[in-house]
Chain A
Amino acid sequence: MESRLTRIIVKIYLIVFLLYLFAPLFVMVIAAFNDSKFPTVMPWKGWTTRWFEDLWADDRMWGAVGNSILVGLAVVIIAVPIGTLAALLLDSIRGRTRSFLYGLMVAPLLVPGIIIGISTLIFWNRIGVPSGLHLSTVGQCSFICSYVMLMVLARLQRMDRSLEEAALDLGATHLQTLRLIVLPYLRTALLTAAVLAFFQSFENFNTTLFTRGGATTVTIFIASRIRTGVTPEVNALGLVLITITVAAAVIYTIRKKNTAAV
């Protein structure tokens, strides 16, 4: 009896939890089809696809999306190698030096994004580097590196150390061991970290706001629209992004299943 009650409670909890996660997304998606000037579901003024047409024709919006993708890719290219190397370093040392360096690496995650943004701006402007997307990239990297480091380190700590020893014993140099044994082992973690880094960058607002100069990213663009009045065009963009993300996730899962079956 008790186990049945427990199961019911767990089920209810699960439903509430999933509702909490997905209800806002659901409302947002529905609002993208509402023929109203405001992004709401109520009052419902009839079905329309005109917000998608507006979105398609909105060059400024697409320019902002392009900028976000550009910054995101740059962040991946910079943050993944730096975070990985930091993880390799932290994994190979012990004691106080490790605690100190670990604290140093994790600290940016605890610093508010606004402060990272302002600091980045002041520091680089002082030494003569103007604001712009490049500065947004640098600012975002300063904390996204830490995410990458944490993910790679977690994977490294589960690695069977004797694999590295076996490689060395068979005559490999440390560099060969890294290239032939460690990096292939980290492949999944590196891919996941790259995806995470990209999305962290894509959705970043605080740090970007201070460092962007005159350039506009998606988050900045949407925020600026709030002042002039948001239309459901933003919801349409949201639906497009969700569709792309879900599609990518599904393709990834299917491919992973296929390789696992081989």
Chain B
Amino acid sequence: MSQDIALETVTKKFGDFTAVREVALNIRAGEFFSFLGPSGCGKTTILRMISGFIEPTQGVIRIGGQDMRGIGPNKRPTALIFQNLALFPLMPVWQNVAFGLEVRGVAKAVRRKKAEELLATVELADSAGKMVSDLSGGQRQRVAIARALAVEPQVMLLDEPLSALDLKLRQHMRAELRRIQKRTGVTFVYITHDQGEALTMSDRVAVMSQGVLQQVAVPMDIYNDPATAFVASFVGESNVFAGRVTETEGGTGRIETEAGSFVARLGAGVSRGDQALLFVRPEQMHLGAAAEAALNRIHAPFSHAEFEGNFVNVFCGTDGHKPLMSQTRSDPGVLALTPGAPMTLGFESADGVILPAGELARE
């Protein structure tokens, strides 16, 4: 069982500060939905409004069609996994898991059995009697999940639960969370500032900045078809060129920039004469023969290269400017270049996108 969530132009103000501004979106039942954004973008505020710890200043939140105004966190069909997990330190693991059943008056033997079943599904069957402090980070994570699942929530809310784990464990837990979500069919709402987490796990992602919803889309569209300058700069790397749009025709346009005149796809909301930003992903910025054959070309001196293993980041440009970045497969020739060597970079018009000038993500 799972339910959908509707945010109807939800605004939350703390005094003069607007944490969330007129956010409207629908989260489908059974969906893995992520809110992605830098800290302070309002994503945690949204999560706390859905869970019922704070009420929206304006707007309505509906879960399964039901208006949630005035309904406390203990009466909502949601379960929240806290950033610090908030496991109860004075209870053994099984009592943590069974807590939601205990407060519902379920008999001790029944809830112990249920807790052990849930612990088995998260592969912690032999830890039922241990204290939380005796568990590792990943084990605690799974106890928190089991505890939330015990109350059979319609909606599971997760507040950056993986941020405290090391890289390997984090990647393992991503797959684990995804597996649990698919098996239980519960609607997952996931909060993160880590684009890797959001893109790998989610059915759909909402990108937020300064309390404003920037884009809601499937992960591939977030990366390939960003709606705003913020999304393009926050998710993944980009070469950014500022300039003025001089021609538009169908879905493409020409933009005049300091680095030259380029033809690229037009994003929504850009018209002729506008100040705009052109974004080109480093893996679409070609070198060598591919660059010479491309429609848009830039000449710049070689600066330096970074060997990343399966690929190399090549940086070109003169001092004082943000260097241009091209990502190519490992090629020993690139690493042998001397600084200042003349280079040609190029990209096809379909691989660049022109978006309205706007706020960029801080680096």
Contact = CB atoms under 8 A, between A and B. Distances in A.
Find the residue from A162, A166, A167, A176 having the highest chain B CB count within 10 A.
A166
B86 A160 contact: yes
B103 A166 contact: no
Bin chain B's interface residue count: 20 to 34
Contacts of A180: 99, 102-103
B103 A163 contact: no
Nearest to A167: B99
A242 interface: no
Contacts of B104: 171
B147 interface: yes
B74 A163 contact: no
B317 interface: no
Given A165-B53, A165-B73, A165-B82, A170 B103 contact: yes
Interface residues of A, number: 17
Contacts of B73: 165, 168-169
B184 interface: no
Nearest to A179: B103
Given A170-B147, A172-B99, A185 B90 contact: yes
Interface in B158-188: none
Contacts of A163: 86, 88
Contacts, number: 58
Contact of A171 (B51, B74, B82): B74
Nearest to B75: A171
Contacts of B79: 169-170
A162 B87 CA distance: 9
Nearest to B102: A180
A173 B99 CA distance: 12
A170 B82 contact: no
B296 to A, nearest CB: 51
A151 to B, nearest CB: 19
Interface string B67-100: 0000011110011101010111010000000011
B151 interface: yes
6 contacts: A160-B84, A166-B82, A170-B74, A171-B104, A172-B74, A173-B74
Interface of B: 51, 53, 72-75, 78-80, 82, 84, 86-88, 90, 99-100, 102-104, 147-148, 150-151
Interface of A: 160, 162-163, 165-173, 176, 180-181, 184-185
